[in-house]
Amino acid sequence: MELSNAEAHLNGPLFRNAIQVVEEAAKIIDCDPNVLERLKRPRRSIIVSVPIRMDDYSVKVFQGFRVQYSATLGPFKGGVRYHQNVDLPEVVGLAALMTFKNSVLGLPLGGAKGGICVDPTKLSRTEKQNLTRRYTSEIAHFIGPTKDIPAPDVGTDPQTMAWMMDTYSQEQGGYSQPGVVTGKPIEIGGSLGRNHATGLGVVYVAEKAFEKKGMKMDGARIAIQGFGNVGSFAALFSYQRGAKIIAVSDVGGGIMNGDGLNIPELMDYIKTQKTVKGFPHSQNITNEELLELECDALFPCALEGQIDVHNAEKIKAKVIAEGANGPVTTAATKILHQRGIFIAPDVIANGGGVIVSYFEWVQDIMSFFWDEDEINKRLKGIITKAFEVGFKLHQEKNVDMRSAAMAVAVQRLEKAMLLRGLYPR
């Protein structure tokens, strides 16, 4: 798209890639060109200065951002990232991706993202609290339970959300407003089930993909890259459903056992050892070897770009469920699609986290909290429905599942934008 100098923040690689994907999705559903033009720009991009008192009494000024990409389907929603590489082009890209993810999942939410350019590991607890409170205060006019609901992301956590919630509540007359952020500790309005939600969602989606391929979770041989929050719970829930987890890995490398690893014991093991390496009854493999193993399914749950044109021909799994964001590149997706390997794309497969964030917001607004079974049941309902809708378009239009999912996201936004019309006219 043509960009003026004033639109330099729309020129970041992440955002340009997102827009390219949107343009391709728009072709699949023959999207209204005026709608497409509007979809290619954020609604509002906020830049704030965040001055804070450091522990040595000096004052430092950090730069913070909140990009509110779209409120067509509901209040803006998206995480807040604290990282030294955060800049406006990156936040715009992440806000766009949130918009399309919330849309494909069928959530009544728009998309946003925020962040501060800071290395949080260099701040004391007090400095981090000062930073969070001042940032919240600077964006307070723009956020709120019916306006924009932030959440944790890289470099932020439930404690950060507790400070954001408290600052916002103090500035709104001192009344508690838990619905202003999600990802809070349970004691102040957080939701049960959030910790394992993304891993459980990966498993629900993989079960659906197996069903379509005439396969079953019970007895399936699965390899999982990454054994953090997403990978370990995806492993545990598959194991509990009778799957054989034949290999897992972390940043230090991988382990395998062709008869299946004992996942509950492995989860205990990493609590003390901090790595999967050295787990009894397993042999070492590299991360590269893990991806190329003979297996029924592969769950890449670590980093982006792990399967690209260099190894796409060597992948032997029949199904890939993307726990991580962007683990399979666009070019590799095309190769795998041609080879008949089914990819359940990240926007659906790792949607469990944002779905339970949505539940947290709903529960906060109702002031009525569900038990974990209720959360898991509702998560299954939403994520499998999103899968089915995407799968239908994938078959109807004969496109890969990733393109189909994006097309569903664009179509939902298109319908809502046409119904709402253009203000003032």
Where do contacts with ligand NAD occur on this chain (CB under 6 A)?
198, 225-231, 249-251, 287, 301-303, 323-325, 350, 353
Nearest-approach distance from CB 351 to ligand NAD, in angstroms? 8
**Closer to ligand NAD at the Cβ: 132 or 249?**
249
Tell the residue number behind the tokens 């609590």, with chain if given: 271
**Closer to ligand NAD at the Cβ: 156 or 198?**
198
**Closer to ligand NAD at the Cβ: 262 or 325?**
325
Contact 100, 48 (CB under 8 A): no
Instruction: Count each helix (H run) and each strand (E run) in the chain, helices first.
Output: 14, 12
Sequence-distant (≥ 6) Cβ neighbours of residue 377 within 8 angstroms: none
**Closer to ligand NAD at the Cβ: 28 or 151?**
151
**Closer to ligand NAD at the Cβ: 144 or 228?**
228
Nearest-approach distance from CB 14 to ligand NAD, in angstroms? 13
Total residues belonging to the chain: 425
Residue 318: how many CB atoms within 10 A of its CB? Answer: 18
What tokens does 268 get?
């205990």
Catalytic residue among 77, 101, 113, 128: 113
Of 123, 187, 200, give the one whose Cα is nearest residue 159.
Answer: 187
Q: Tell me the one-letter amino acid at 264.
A: P
**Closer to ligand NAD at the Cβ: 84 or 395?**
84
DSSP output for 213-252: TT--STT-EEEEE--SHHHHHHHHHHHHTT-EEEEEEETT
Nearest-approach distance from CB 271 to ligand NAD, in angstroms? 13
Nearest-approach distance from CB 354 to ligand NAD, in angstroms? 7
Buried b or exposed e, range 195-210, using 16+ CB within 10 angstroms:
bbbbbbbbbbbbbbbb
Nearest-approach distance from CB 105 to ligand NAD, in angstroms? 12
**Closer to ligand NAD at the Cβ: 178 or 327?**
327
C-alpha angle with apex 123: 121 to 127, nearest 5 degrees? Answer: 145
Contact 204, 383 (CB under 8 A): yes
Nearest-approach distance from CB 286 to ligand NAD, in angstroms? 9
Which residue has the CB atom at the shortest distance from ligand NAD? 228
Of 218, 231, 207, give the one whose Cα is nearest residue 290.
Answer: 231
The rounded distance, in Å, linking the Cα atoms of 3 and 8 is 7
The rounded distance, in Å, linking the Cα atoms of 56 and 62 is 16
Say which DSSP state 307 is in.
Answer: B
Nearest-approach distance from CB 340 to ligand NAD, in angstroms? 26
Is 212 an active-site residue? no
The rounded distance, in Å, linking the Cα atoms of 40 and 313 is 34
What tokens does 112 get?
């946003």
- Residues labelled catalytic: 113
